[in-house]
Amino acid sequence: MNELAKQLDEKLCTLDYECARNLELRVRHAMSLAEEESSTQLSSGWPNGYFEQTAGALAREEFERHV
């Protein structure tokens, strides 16, 4: 068990039932958000749909080539 898990376990033991329950629900919610975020990443590390959303974003920009 890492240090954060130990601290969480100790904190849950010191809280009354309702507070401990609320803390547990918040931690579970944060964990599910983190899982969702990591599952939206491609294996290359880019978010799903990134290239489709950004393709052509600079199409109307004029670039000047310096020689």
- The per-residue pLDDT string of the chain (67 residues; one tens digit each, 9 = 90 and over) reads 699 999 999 999 999 999 999 999 999 999 988 887 766 665 667 777 788 888 888 888 888 888 7
Beta bridge partners of 47: 41
- Domain boundaries, given as residue ranges, for the chain: 3-53
For Cα atoms 52, 33, 49, give the angle at the middle one, nearest 5 degrees: 5
